[in-house]
Structure 1
């Protein structure tokens, strides 16, 4: 069963370490091989959100998991494609 991390609101640079810590805590001792990052309630997708998702992907990979998005809006998907992170979506 995949682990699920929900991202809500607008992501600031200060939120990135907290989100990565939450993901680490979620994966600690879990047998998950996949992380679903629910971004349906992410407000104003921007490059800070993209940075957060890239760092979350790295955190998941270090734990041997794949990161996938759920509920991503077109604006976020376009930004991810623009920076070469379309494999997350």
Structure 2
């Protein structure tokens, strides 16, 4: 009984948080990069330079740098980095 309740609670939590992730995909956060491909290219150049220095674009330090430069919170910066790399520079690690 207790395990069933816990499982139901976890499934409910997952279903509630899913729309938040979907709405982030349609937010101004990503639309800004979609409308300005030069911004994405600039970010890709920066990420490639990090890779050349054996640093990952997905590191916490790199994400904090993006967050600061774009005036975003850490979570939004992670979303932005993931989107830009996936859509514009999949060779970046």
TM category (shorter chain) comes to: 0.3 to 0.5
TM-score scaled by structure 1? 0.33
Q: Which has the higher helix share?
A: 2
Looking at CA atoms only, which structure, 1 or 2, has the larger radius of gyration? 2
TM-score (norm. length: structure 2)? 0.33
